[in-house]
Amino acid sequence: MEWRTVVVIVLIVSLCFFIVPIKVDFNKTVKDAELFANYIARYNKSYKNDSAKYVERFERFQKSLRHIEKLNSLRSSQESAYYGLTEFSDLSDDEFMEQALIPDLPLRGQKHTTASYYHQHSTDSVNRMKRMIPITDIPSKFDWRDKGVVGSVMNQENCGACWAFSTVGVVESMYAIKNGTLHSFSVQEMIDCMPGNFGCQGGDICSLLSWLLASKTRIISETDYPLTLQTDTYLHQFPNYVGINKKGEPEGFRLDATLSNVLALANTNRVCFSFVDAETELLTLLVTHGPVAAAVNAISWQNYLGGIIQYNCDGSFNSLNHAVQIVGYDTEARIPHYIIKNSWGPSFGNKGYIFIAVGKNLCGKTNERAGM
């Protein structure tokens, strides 16, 4: 008897023993089990030889399948977001939040709203916005990737340091815009050295950028301070650490200079902004200054494959749980949208990117911005 058939029988018998009060569709269960077997092989899941875990994950996998079917049934056009199996499809909502997101990000972000480096933009503050960022005619589509100033998509894996990945990615772009060369800066240095954060257990973009600006901390290359995806503390004793390259020579880039000279906001010490109800200003900022880091709500992205997200993505401040980079937009498209660089690896979404519709603050993308 084929092993997949045996697995299906075991699963159905297990459901009987657990006395699950549902009507079992045998044909659908068989199909789900076959999909699950292929899924395990594709993502090399560690529980493939653990029967108890296998059954548990299969149940969560089935819930994802039904949710995927529901989301895809709501698509309004070929350009709309579409969903399918991802490496996260065998996780519950709580597990996905714990593994890939930052559950307490709203609490971390709330403290910034009264800080000197935070600024609230809205439709009532256009005049102040004009003094800081000239409102000019902007193109209907713009993508910083076309300029060669956006680094490759990285994978945070089980390290909850999206805040560091998104911020360092923005700094890389800003440095490239000013100097014409794209360097890979050290995300791990930020994970290890940022005071008050918890490394792979979470942080936030406003804290990191304000610290970099205030402390004049230097950031060194990825080559000389490689990514480990673990929270280390051995550099905390060196608050003025500059960085030593392989030749034993000090090196590093002064982030205060990069931020002030490139971002053209040097006359303010503000690095964290809100653009709720002011997306025109955000689009202008993207064109005139460069990519920005953003706090978003990514709980609905668990099974995202591609297309433009238009629905099912709460944008309230209290729902923020992830940090990404906005690297461009396209208002010529049938569904005008932002181009979002994520940190879940190039195999997630559209080669590591996600598209979110312009307007309505979908996924909270205008709630918090840093990196300008």
Q: Is 16 a catalytic residue?
A: no
| Residues sharing a CB contact under 8 Å with residue 218, sequence separation 6 or more, in sequence order | 241, 242, 243, 252, 253, 254, 255
Q: Which of 112, 119, 159, 162 is catalytic?
A: 162
Torsion sign over Cα 63, 68, 69, 71: positive
First and final C-alpha spacing in the chain: 62
Could you tell me the CA-to-CA distances from 73 to 31, 83, 275, 357 in Å, in that order? 19, 10, 32, 18
Short-list 338, 368, 352, CA closest to 142: 338
Helices (H), the chain: 3-17, 26-43, 51-73, 93-100, 105-110, 126-132, 162-179, 187-193, 205-215, 255-263, 279-289
Could you tell me the CA-to-CA distances from 163 to 74, 105, 342, 343, 352 in Å, in that order? 32, 10, 11, 10, 16
Measured between alpha carbons, how far is 369 from 102 in angstroms, rounded to an integer?
16
Q: How many CB atoms lie within 10 A of CB 221?
A: 17
Q: Which of 321, 342, 361, 367 is catalytic?
A: 342
Q: Is 240 a catalytic residue?
A: no
Q: Which amino acid is at 184?
A: S
| Three-class secondary structure of residue 187 per DSSP | helix
Q: Which of 121, 289, 322, 337 is catalytic?
A: 322
Residue with tokens 């089935």: 62
**Which residues is 142 bridged to in the sheet?**
329
Classify residue 234 as exposed, middle or buried by CB count within 10 Å of its CB (0-12, 13-18, 19+): exposed
Number of H helices and E strands in the chain, helices first, is 11, 13
Q: Is 363 a catalytic residue?
A: no
Residue 122 CB-half CA count within 13 A: 2
Q: Per the structure block, which two tokens stand in for 1? A: 């008897």
Short-list 330, 337, 332, 346, CA closest to 365: 337
Q: Which positions are annotated as active-site residues?
A: 162, 322, 342
